[in-house]
Amino acid sequence: MNHTPRGRGRAWAELVCLIAALASSPATQAQNTVRTSTVPDLPVERMSVTGLVENSLGMKFRTVPGGKVQFSIWETRVQDYEAFVMASGRSWGKPGFDQGKQHPAVNVNWEDAQAFCRWLTTQERKAGRLTAPQRYRLPTDEEWSLAVGLGTESGTSPEDKMKQRVIWPWGSYWPPRNREGNYASELQVDTFPHTSPAGSFSPNAGGLYDLGGNVWEWCEDWYNAAQVTKVLRGGSFNDAHPATLLASYRFQGTMNLTGEDIGFRVVLESKSLPP
């Protein structure tokens, strides 16, 4: 899918110019002279993580500092979504490339993601793993911003909040360095032609993986007051445009939109968490 921003007017053009100036600055060029990383590409099975809550599907959750929900540390994986499809009989189109069980589930629209959350909530309440106030759901746009490190943003809708700080999920420099995520091949930062397994790259400061790249992630919110399209965040393996990959960028899609670079991440909501 082509997510190059179009038709956003003068403010967006100014933002793109600002990004271009930042990318060509001497400080940024100096930062990018070294594009190597010592972080190993560990599959999920070899990772050692502590302080996490694990559910019946093996999905792991942690509380983001300052947040009131627990975030799945990974995007919802093929093995997670397959369990739902097998139990519910819901149709699911596979992508035109090979995926392993640990890759993020794709070709999932907003309604599919909602159905997965309802199913998992019901299953775990029946098994006594969740209490009545607890439930799985998509993150709100505000929660996703907090998780990626943006903090509080001004604006009345996700659309309004896009003209924010020039910062990406990996930091304040462009382009990303080697192994800082799964992005389009022209950025030359990873070796994956399509999706990558959960945990293939380093987590962010909050302990979450792939908030930048791999697949776009659905959020709960409407994109704006028109209430026609929903919000997606994070970019994907198809994306290389500096504006599209900003931490504050919002893509939008109707609730039935699917794509080979669209997936989702869930949060666990619990009223028992501290305010």
Q: For residue 249, give both structure tokens.
A: 């960028």
Distances (CA, A) of 138 to 3, 141, 226: 22, 9, 20
**Span 92-102, pLDDT tens digits:** 999 999 999 99
Compute the average pLDDT of residues 14-21: 55
Compute the average pLDDT of residues 233-240: 98
For 100, the enclosing helix (H) or strand (E) is: none
Which of residues 13 and 196 earns the better pLDDT score? 196
**Span 79-128, pLDDT tens digits:** 999 999 999 999 999 999 999 999 999 999 999 999 999 999 999 999 99
100-134 burial code (b ≥16 CB/10 A, e <16): eebbbbbbbbbebbbbbbebbbebbeeeeebeeeb
**Span 241-265, pLDDT tens digits:** 999 999 999 999 999 999 999 999 9
3-class DSSP state of 232: strand
Domains and CATH numbers, the chain: 51-269 (3.90.1580.10)
Q: Check if the beta carbon of residue 235 is closer than 8 Å to that of residue 259.
A: no
- The pLDDT value given to residue 19: 57
- The pLDDT value given to residue 7: 40
Asked if residue 34 has pLDDT above 50, the reply is: no
| Phi, psi of 104, deg, nearest 5 | -70, 140
| Per-residue pLDDT band at 20 (split at 50, 70, 90) | low
For 219, the enclosing helix (H) or strand (E) is: strand 216-222
Distances (CA, A) of 107 to 38, 147, 175, 263: 33, 24, 28, 7
Q: Report the percent of the chain where pLDDT is more than 70.
A: 80
Burial (CB count within 10 angstroms: exposed 0-12, middle 13-18, buried 19+), residue 85:
middle
| Per-residue pLDDT band at 165 (split at 50, 70, 90) | confident
Residue with tokens 């939109």: 257
Q: Check if the beta carbon of residue 158 is closer than 8 Å to that of residue 221.
A: yes
| Phi, psi of 117, deg, nearest 5 | -65, -40
Asked if residue 199 has pLDDT above 90, the reply is: yes
Distance CA 230, CA 37 (A): 35
Q: For residue 153, give both structure tokens.
A: 């943003």
- The pLDDT value given to residue 67: 87
pTM, to two decimals: 0.84
Q: For residue 192, give both structure tokens.
A: 């994956």
Compute the average pLDDT of residues 31-40: 33
Which residues does 140 contact at the CB level (< 8 Å), separation at least 6? 219, 220, 221
Compute the average pLDDT of residues 116-145: 97
CA angle centred on 87, ends 86 and 91, rounded to 5° = 50
If you average pLDDT over each of 11-15, 39-43, 62-66, 125-129, which comes out highest?
125-129
Asked if residue 16 has pLDDT above 80, the reply is: no
